[in-house]
Structure 1
Amino acid sequence: MQYFKKIRYYIDKSLARSFIYVVYLLALIVCFVVACITAMDIYFGDGELRNFSQIFLDYFFAAIRGEGENINSTFINILINTLIMLTGLFVSSIVIGILVNSIAESIDNVRSGKSFIDEKNHQLILGWSNGISLVFREFLLANSNNKDSNIVFLDEINPVEANEKIMTMFPNKEDYQKIIPKQGRISDRKYLEMVNVDQARSILINHDDDMESIKAIAAIVNNPERKKDKYNIVSKMNIKENYELAKIIGGEETKVLFFGDMLARVGAQSCLQSGLANVYLDLVNFDGDEIYFHKEDSLVGKTYEEAILSYETSSIIGIEREGDVLINPKREKIKTDDSLIAISMDDDTVIKDGVENVLVDQKKIVKTAPSKNKVDTIYIFGYCEGDLSKLEVICSHLINYLDDGSKIFLVNDNKDSANIESKINPAKDIQISFIEGNCRSREFLEQMDIESGDKLLILSSFNGSNDINKCDAQTLFTLINLRDIEKKENKNFVLTTELINSHNAEIFASNSDDDYLYSEDIVQSMLVQIAENPFLSIFFDNLASPEGSEIYFKSITEYVDVSEPIDFYTICQSASFKGETAIGYQTSEREDLKTLNAGVNINPLKSKKRLYNPDDKLIVFADD
């Protein structure tokens, strides 16, 4: 009995191994059966012992074919032929079964995303997060002119399920067929090799877990068998400490965005200027005009102002020089290796198509004194759950923009907010006060003495890991109450609301001209933009910084006479005289302000004349 157990164990072990072991075991079984049949033929039939090898080979090939060799009708020959046919049937069924299983396994590997991809110059996305649909969409828009470029996505989600979700997101066959889902852990080098990481044009790490993203960065850059050329890796971090660690591990090959810090800086600027959040979203996504770097040899030696007027359908906003980004460099001259930074519809639309010998209407240009200092009162409702650092960053940035006498009120239920003023210690005469209370309580909000013209910023409690829709629901609860209080008390608040999911803004849209700061949209779009052009990392960092030139909304009457239609060339020239760069305008029509883009128009056609309203705003890059 023990001997048969050993044989059974050997057979089971062989079957559990590869296809070669199964064939080897099958050959042994066939040889044993054929040897027995040969012995039967020699002992009972007409066979002779001296012809054993020949008889064995005849029966062996007969068994492979599944048909007998002798048509003699004696009992022994009938038995032998029956055994040969049964052996052949057994062999063929096993072989067919193995082939069918191998094919099924291969199909299953392909469907389950475990097969190697032979893509080159593809965009590689590691991780499935809440903003994945936006990332897919931005990559598809960015490569709409490149039909051969595909998007490869790696995550532990089942690829069949992922494919169904992708087809729901993008019903167009041309779109969803460009997205190739694969299954595996993003920090496992086996799976990174499967998605051909070394041949990827860019690698965007989009995982919700910071540590998993950091391990993925380490798995790529520290791989002993990695490629010699540098990777183009982009990632985001939700926690400050992880952001610093990711930068150390990734080095020069990795561009890392800190979710909270970046949004805090954008939020600080957006609450002071209605419509600025829409400008940011326009600049960072591929739906409309985007930012491109462009070399133009014919402008070498020309001034920055001359370069601005050389483009009809694009807006020049700066210069890239030796890896540094200069936004609104005023009277700087273009050098040989400089690249112009342009806002344009696409990379192939950045064309020097300005009107020859532009005749700027100098009589329409007005010279006005800078606006007087204005005292602002700002209420900041809420905070990032479990972390006050974002609130601190917003306050520290606001101080750089506010004039003496301004006030900042922090409204939330976290008593530690009272310590923020002492941590920041503002040099200006700006008061930072804490009001403790529940932002979602209607009774509490009604007791607050908010006046018309006060600026209100409602922050999301999203910290990168908690539920997005729940956070947005809490934020919108505060917004709806404040809107109702504003209406009943006949006041006019300047409201800016941070929402993670932009669809929630569309659901709760109202007739008011509120601003929305779409945090997830801005961050995800920035990641895709940087993946397409790593230099944009420096640009976006400068854009959200209080140092240097930033985006401002200024009265158009400070630049030109608007009593008659005027072209944008003249407006650009007037802005240049003030050391500024004009990039668009915001209409004051109330119906336009109610739209989701808040009446913002970026990169208008410069030769087209338009009759502006005295209350319209000019959007410029300026120092203050």
Structure 2
Amino acid sequence: MLQELKERLRYMIDRAFAREFAGQFILFLVLVVVVTLVGMTAYFFGLFGPENEDVPGIPRGIDRGFLDSLWWSMQRVLRLPGFERMYGATPPILAYALFLSIMGLAVFGILVSMINTAMQRRIETLRKGDSPVKERGHVLVLGWSDKIYSVLRQLARLQPGSKVVILAPEEIEEMQEALRVNGSMREDLTIILRSGIPSNVEELNRVAVDRASSVIVVSPRADRDRLGGDSEVIKTMMLLAAWREWRGQGPTLTAEIALEQNQELAEIAARGRMHLISSSTVISKVLVQCIRNPGLADVYSELFAPYGNGLHVQSIGACSEQTMRDISYGFPDAIPIGIAWKEQQGEELKHASGLNPEPDYDIAEDEQLILLAHGVPVKFSQPGSAYTSRIYREGSVSARVPRRVLLIGWNGNVFDILVELDAHALRGTEIVLLSDMDPEAARKHVEQLLDHELENVSVEYLAGDPVERGSYSEIDLTSFQTIVLLADTSSGESDIDARTLRTLLRLSDLRRRTAASPHTVVELLDIANKDLLAGLHVDDVVFSDQVISAQLAQIAKQPVLGPIYRELLSAGGVEISLRPVGDYVEIGSSCSFFDLAFAAQQKMEIALGVRLAREGELFLNPERELAWCLDEDDRVVVLAQQLYR
């Protein structure tokens, strides 16, 4: 019975609150009446007894009974200001006094509520970042994707203490939590968040775009696999390119385009004002270079990491009027790999560069050196006599193009990867593509984007979940020289790397059962997952977000790097390559970096370091006093002209 009464009472209270104000007010009146009646029962416990005769708060002037008890209890419950002084007044006056006291209390409550609401709105406005940014010389990041975290790490390395403003169509709390979880809030940066649409003029004014030192536009993750993607990025680019209110030269503008087929439209929208990075093109070229050069991913990881060797530009007067050969031995902790200059293009001076110039190239006074170094400035000392290696060896360089490649997974880069493979492969190379995509749909998607047929490669499309064992029943893993795992977005899973790792576990088990040991290249998004690859027999790991974000951040801070990266990652230009030691020096002899540099110069190349096969150890821009006894499995890291064989 008691339990039923409690449930009935709880139900009535719930119904009262469900009726909003009316129900809540009725509940309030009931509560006042009940509590007042309970308070009146003090009459039976000596409220007007002789022991309480001297208590001033107990009225006795009316009847020392019901009315005085009611008055005393109401005063305790309602505590209406001024109403207690109406004791003894006539009923009409008491009614007026009660009404006015209650209304006065209501008016005061409304005033407090209004002030509280206004303060809450103001706090909410500040919390949401609706106030205009008053910074000057800040880095402005427009858009939001997983690359944000790597961009921030790069900016913290390039210019510690920088102020970074992020404008994105996300909730402030979500961005703050994501940055906290990924450790970005611990970087040596001042991060200011604003929620808004980057392609809106008012929003750009709110984040002081005209006072920014550089602007970075990132492509949302969702645009990677949509043929009509990049729309928001292109709209933002059009707005920035047409901006008329720049102060002085205006900021350095850098933008990411997710899909290569949108590159032409993006270039039109940019009007020559922006540095464009096509993430699908860049990642596909890096992956294919890693397919052709096992171990190359370690070189790119160091180049694009927030710390370690990177590309820098410096003017060194002492190098003017000298050849690249003359100066190459004068840097104890840097390697000159090219030259940079400014040239007139229309009404503007544009940065230009040339990588891997001939050893006899004379450096002009107005040219800067492109250096592989830990940082700038670097020291230069004039070398003495010309260096000559006694262990130099001539040899032919053979292109490493696998004849059978297994691609696993599907994302927006598949088309670019196939085109890039076709450009480098020998005729008759076979590509097998295993993914969740329907084979006919996958074939039509690729053919829709092709403006010419693939000449050197044939593609076989297979359907199947790469995580499941049954998908490999008709695949002979021992017949492939290279297996490539892409960051698979076809399944719609939120954690793309988790799916890649599950597929890698499946492959590791299958290879153990079949004794297959092909060269394995894996694309991951988050570098934090690197440690999970231990024991899975992965040869090369490309962290695609790191590669793109490094370029975005570095070009934003050093615009001269824009043409350098374009040349380094463009078809038909120069490339970083790993080549057999036996093509440069005598196998088994004591070898220094200067020996490798000399041998590379004879081939019109530039030596960058060495990769040892026994432990996969990479020495990029090594200390000059180091010496190795290299064997035939070791590789020389060189900057050389791309080979198509």
Q: TM-score if structure 1 supplies the norm length?
A: 0.74
Percent identity over the alignment?
23
1:501–1:191 Cα change, 3 Å: same
1:391 corresponds to which of 411, 414, 421: 414
| Distance change >3 Å, CA 509–CA 344, structure 1 → 2 | same
CA–CA distance in 1 between the matches of 2:400 and 2:260?
Answer: 34
- Tell me how far 1:572 sits from its aligned partner: 0.8
Structure 1 pair 562–313 and aligned structure 2 pair: CA distance change class (3 A): farther
> Of 483, 498, 506, which aligns to 1:456?
483
Question: Residues 608 and 127 from structure 1, CA distance in 2 versus in 1: closer, same or farther, beyond 3 angstroms?
Answer: same
Deviation of 1:361 after TM superposition, in Å, equals: 5.4
Provide Cα deviations, 1:507-536, integer angstroms capped at 9, x if missing partner.
343252421122222112221122122232
Cα distance in 1 for residues equivalent to 2:507 and 2:254: 38
Q: Does 1:115 align with 2:131?
A: yes
- State the distance in 2 between where 1:473 and 1:165 align: 18
Q: What is the CA distance between 1:197 and its match in structure 2?
A: 0.9
Residue 585 of structure 1 corresponds to: 610
Is 98-107 or 399-408 further displaced after alignment?
A: 98-107
Whole-Å Cα distance in 1 between the matches of residues 428 and 315 of structure 2? 46
Contact 1:374 1:403 in 2 (8 A): no
For the aligned residues, what is the CA RMSD?
A: 3.4
TM-superposed CA distance for 1:466, in Å, is: 5.4
Choose which of 150, 158, 166 in structure 1 pairs with 2:163: 150
Offset at 1:213? 2.1
- In structure 1, the partner of 2:200 is 188
Contact 2:508 2:536 in 1 (8 A): no
2:142 and 2:428 map into 1 onto residues whose CA distance is 48
* Residue-pair matches, total: 515
> How do 1:207-606 and structure 2 match up within 5 A?
207-208=219-220, 210-227=230-247, 229-321=249-341, 322=343, 323-331=351-359, 332-348=361-377, 350-352=378-380, 354=381, 356-357=383-384, 360=387, 362-367=389-394, 369-371=395-397, 376-382=402-408, 384-385=410-411, 390-404=413-427, 406-412=429-435, 413-415=438-440, 424-425=452-453, 430-438=456-464, 440=466, 441-451=468-478, 454-462=481-489, 467=493, 469=495, 471-561=496-586, 563-589=588-614, 592-593=615-616, 599-606=617-624
What letter is aligned with 2:416? V
Greater mean alpha carbon deviation, residues 403-412 or residues 526-535: 403-412
Distance 1:263 1:437 in 2: 24
The partner residue of 2:179 within 161, 166, 169 is: 166
- Gap regions ≥5 residues in structure 1: 1-91, 594-598
Counterpart-to-counterpart distance in 2, 1:435 and 1:189:
46
Change (3 A) 1:447 1:563: same
Match of 1:131 among 147, 152, 158: 147
- CA spacing shift, 1:585–1:452, aligned 2, 3 Å: farther
Change (3 A) 1:263 1:374: closer
What is the alpha-carbon distance in structure 2 between the residues aligned to residue 296 and residue 496 of structure 1?
A: 39
8 Å CA contact 2:218, 2:256 repeated in 1: yes
CA deviations over 1:541-586 (Å, ceiling 9, x no partner): 2222231221111122322235354321221111111111011121
Report the CA distance shift for 1:457/1:284 in structure 2 as closer, same or farther (over 3 A): same
Q: CA deviation at 1:169?
A: 3.3
Are the aligned partners of 2:141 and 2:218 in contact in 1 as well (CA < 8 Å)?
yes
Query: Is contact 2:136–2:211 with CA below 8 Å preserved after alignment?
Result: yes
Conserved in 2, the CA contact under 8 Å of 1:247 and 1:255? no
Distance in 2, matches of 1:473 and 1:173, equals: 25
Q: What is the CA–CA distance in structure 1 between the aligned matches of 2:115 and 2:340, rounded to whole Å?
A: 59
Contact 1:417–1:434 (CA<8 Å) still a contact in 2? Answer: no
State the one-letter code of the partner of 2:167: L
* C-alpha distance in 1 between matches for 2:237 and 2:441: 35
Q: Deviations over 1:93-122 (max 9, x none)?
A: 999999998877665544332223332221
> 2:464 is aligned with what amino acid?
N
Deviation, 1:615, is 2.0
* Residue 213 of structure 2 corresponds to residue 201 of structure 1: yes
1:112 to 1:374, Cα distance in 2 relative to 1, 3 A = closer
The amino acid that maps onto 1:198 is D
2:623 aligned partner, one-letter code = L
**CA 1:475–1:372: 2 relative to 1, 3 Å:** same
Alpha-carbon offset, residue 341 of structure 1: 0.9
In 2, Cα distance between equivalents of 1:434 and 1:521: 31
Question: 2 CA distance for matches of 1:373 and 1:166?
Answer: 43
SS in 1 for 2:379: coil
Instruction: Flag the 1:250–1:375 CA change in 2: closer, same or farther, 3 A.
Output: closer
CA distance in 2, matches of 1:393, 1:312: 39
Maintained 8 Å contact 2:198/2:204 = yes
In structure 2, do the counterparts of structure 1 residues 489 and 241 end up closer, same or farther at CA, with 3 Å as the change threshold?
closer
Cα 1:173–1:522, aligned 2, differ >3 Å: closer, same or farther? closer
- Unpaired runs of 5+ residues, structure 2, are 1-107, 224-229, 344-350
CA distance in 1, matches of 2:235, 2:457: 43
Shift of residue 406, structure 1, vs aligned partner:
4.0
Paired residues of 2:483 and 2:519 also in contact (CA < 8 A): yes
Q: Distance in 1 between matches of 2:167 and 2:472?
A: 46
Which position in structure 2 is the counterpart of 1:607? 625
Q: Secondary structure at the match of 1:409?
A: strand
Per the alignment, do residues 374 and 281 of structure 1 end up closer, same or farther by CA in structure 2, a change over 3 Å counting? closer
Letter matched to residue 308 of structure 2: G
Q: Distance in 2 between matches of 1:190 and 1:455?
A: 51
Amino acid at match of 1:449: D
Quote the Cα distance in structure 2 between the aligned partners of 1:446 and 1:156: 45
Q: Is the 8 A contact 1:585 1:619 kept in 2?
A: yes
